[in-house]
Chains A and B, each alone.
Chain A
Amino acid sequence: MSQSTFTRRGLLRSSAALGAAGVAPSFFVRDAWAQDFTNNPGNGSSVTLGFNVPQSGAYADEGADELRAYTLAVKHLNGEGDGGMLNTMKPLSLKGNGVLGKEVKFVTGDTQTKSDAARASAKRMIEKDGAIMITGGSSSGVAIAVQSLCQEAGVIFMAGLTHSNDTTGKDKRKYGFRHFFNTEMTGASLGPVLESNFGKDRNAYHLTADYTWGWSQEGSIKKYTEALGWNTTAAVRTPLGAGDFSQYITPVLNSGADVLVLNHYGKDMVNSLTQAVQFGLRDKNVGGKDFQIVVPLFSRLMAQGAGENIKGIFGSTNWNWSLTDEGSAAFVKSFGAEYGFPPSQAAHTTYCQAILYANACEMAGTFNPCEVITALEGFKFDGMGNGATEYRASDHQCFKDVLVVRGNENPSSQFDLLEVVQEVPRSQVEYDPSLLGGELGNCA
């Protein structure tokens, strides 16, 4: 028969020891209680960011520029180079010694501008490479797909070049943030400029890329031009990557329309604009009015492909290297010295995103995404090239000035393709967050 050694004194001793052991790590090991977020760098000396950009496919040149900007941002974060916009951003919590004292490293993925490939590369960077944040991309379809993946993985996604309303509208996510502007802001900024240049009595014919961004762009331009008094003659959806748009352009000739709105981006924009000009639309006169073509979203990199055809065409852009404010000048100087040419709007927005994320980590004092999200929500800053800017808490959309541009009639250099017509103030492009719907969800 066994004899029990259990005593009241022993129970008290054991309880005290267990209690001390349980509490000790909270006091002596920094951040130990925060191990439960994805890819916590813990006590490591470095932190890894995941740059998910198109390295192949139609947007490879934009992706290459995004990667250049990220590489420069990492350099500046680690205290190398001239510091770029770290010298102009206000308020700034970064100290030029990495993020929270950890050296910033990065891994890259190729989105191929395909949603499935982009999700696969983001997943790989999160699961195998330990990326604590994913950023980049050059398509709204890709951004929405990767944003959703990051929400599930509990990793912050700082979107790259994505212009569809849906990214911070019906498909917005708690873990997703967009610095780039959207189609609603394009409509609000471009509408008044179109009115002052072309008048109120116009008939617009839309050719629209048949995917999320195209629909979003068409909707916004229709909304703002119809409010001016314009009539929408027709809105025709064209397949993505159609190549030859002749069968969609010829109906415009006899439609009675006097404005063609090309809701196309990238190669589609280059092709449809080139072919519209070949069909003589710019030389056409309808009811005593000169026919006009509008390209709501311009990209300097892509505009090069359209050559002379882009001259005089109105559109909007997130940022242009010719801006002379302190932040833009610092970034252009830094990027130009590093690579020998000016940055694109894709490079600008991705550079800003990397810096803003790092700064939010410093503000929060942790890499815990929920706290970083809190730091980013409602964050107001300046000195990054678009005037006073705010990351709106309710939808994670950045609100800042928008540029209305026109193809330069007399460029002074190979980079001088867009002329800034107007810097539309932020107040003119702000809208109620409920307008675009969606739910952010929670931080798990």
Chain B
Amino acid sequence: MIIACISDNIEELIKLVKKSSEIADQIGAEIHTILFKYYYKEDEIEILKSSLNTDRIILLSNILLMKYDSEAFSLALMDYYKKYKPDLFVFNSSLASKEMAVKLSSKLNIPAMLDVKELKILDKKLIVKRDFAGGVYEATYETDIPFILTLLDSETSYISKLDRKREFEEMVVNTNVSRVLIRQTKKLNPRINELKNAKVIISVGEALKDKNDLKYIFEIANFLKAEVSCTRFLSTRKKWFDEWIGVSGIRVSPKLYVGIGISGEPFHIAGILKSEKILAIVTDPESNIVNYADYIAICDLYKILPVLAKKVKKKYEKFLTES
């Protein structure tokens, strides 16, 4: 059995190979790591060749693989498939990788599943767990191999005791680019790692009417050493932040999550469920976030925020003076 690991970025690929080895060790499978020449830098490829505990690194080579293109990358993977017929393709769950995985699924007629949380292989059957209905539910699926999946979170503390073969092969592949032309690219600065590692997060929702109101939030966050972010609506429609919290954005797991003026759409809620404590400060008692909070303050946001900011500031200044 062969598990093929593919990612659109190097950090995720390293984690993916480690996570796949957890499964591969149990069932005696080989791990193949697929790299795209020109897309990965030469020094990155050298690092991966020397550090990845994998059976085979296959470098797919074609000048069209220089820039990410789902058509080009999935076609390139076809040549690899024809030669090795892997049983399982494991991708990371970035938007680019998901697109690549689905294209590959279509071309190979092998079913795919995205954003897989857990997987097990039992007697050639694949048992897969994923979020359902915004992540408020969890669904378990059963399917056969071959299969294609994107893995949501490949963090693992597992260390394989097997020393894998680490063979290297460069494979010149046929490919073609899509007929979609990119006119312009604007870089964003989503604070993914900051939010994923934050102990306290204050997140704001659509009940906050004006971006200037964020001044209170930042004052409070400053005292708590908290990260500030928002719901998808405020990020994508109002452009207050470059990222948002939720299953379609960043999933977080702080000690304390403070949701201010958040209605609690299921996709947002599912992204905060791993928080140790959730404090909801809301105007509307019917807000869905209330059903998932540890502490609930139902109040007028525009009355509480100035008072709270003032109190926090006072306490902070007192603390600074004393220390």
Do they bind each other? no
User: Which positions in B face A, CB cutoff 8 Å?
Assistant: none
